[in-house]
Amino acid sequence: MSSQCLFCRIVAGEIPSTRVYEDDQVIAFRDISPAAPQHILLIPRRHIQSVAALEVEDAALMGHLMLQARHIAEQEGFADTGFRSVLNTGDEGGQTVGHLHLHLLAGRQMHWPPG
């Protein structure tokens, strides 16, 4: 846990969030500034900077995270209508919080290419 990291502080409960799912490896909570009618962030409890910092040892954790994305999509009712999953990485990737997070966006038509 990094005491400087916003999402580590959310994991620790030091900063409030609206959680929609949690287990021993990941938590999911609503984005404070939603970019779609539904906008959920799914993160590992353990601090990982980004996809660019992933190690071989993180493979099972990331597989679990993706499976829980499916679970949350079903739980929140957008698995069938569709949704966008986004992992922003680094400055040019648009990452603003340095703790790996999967955006789940749903409830409107998405477009391609993204901005």
Identify the residue among 56, 80, 92, 96 touching ligand 5GP (CB under 6 A): 96
Alpha-carbon distance of 35 to 33, in angstroms, equals 7
Alpha-carbon distance of 24 to 14, in angstroms, equals 18
Beta carbon nearer to ligand 5GP, 56 or 66: 66
Exposure string (b/e) for 24-60, b if CB count within 10 Å is 16 or more?
Answer: eebbbbebeeeebebbbbbbbbebbebbeeeeeebee
Please tell me whether residue 94 binds ligand 5GP under the rule CB under 6 A: yes
| Strand order across the 19-22 sheet | 19-22, 26-30, 38-44, 102-106, 84-86
Active site residue 101: yes
Identify the residue among 33, 56, 92, 113 touching ligand 5GP (CB under 6 A): 33
Identify the residue among 1, 13, 14, 32 touching ligand 5GP (CB under 6 A): 32
> If contact means CB under 5 to 8 A according to the sort of partner, which of ligand 5GP, Zn ion, none does residue 33 touch?
ligand 5GP
Beta carbon nearer to Zn ion, 36 or 99: 99
Please tell me whether residue 29 binds ligand 5GP under the rule CB under 6 A: yes
Q: Are 83 and 105 contacting, i.e. CB atoms less than 8 angstroms apart?
A: yes
Residues in contact with ligand 5GP by CB under 6 A are 6, 15, 17, 29-33, 41, 88, 94-97
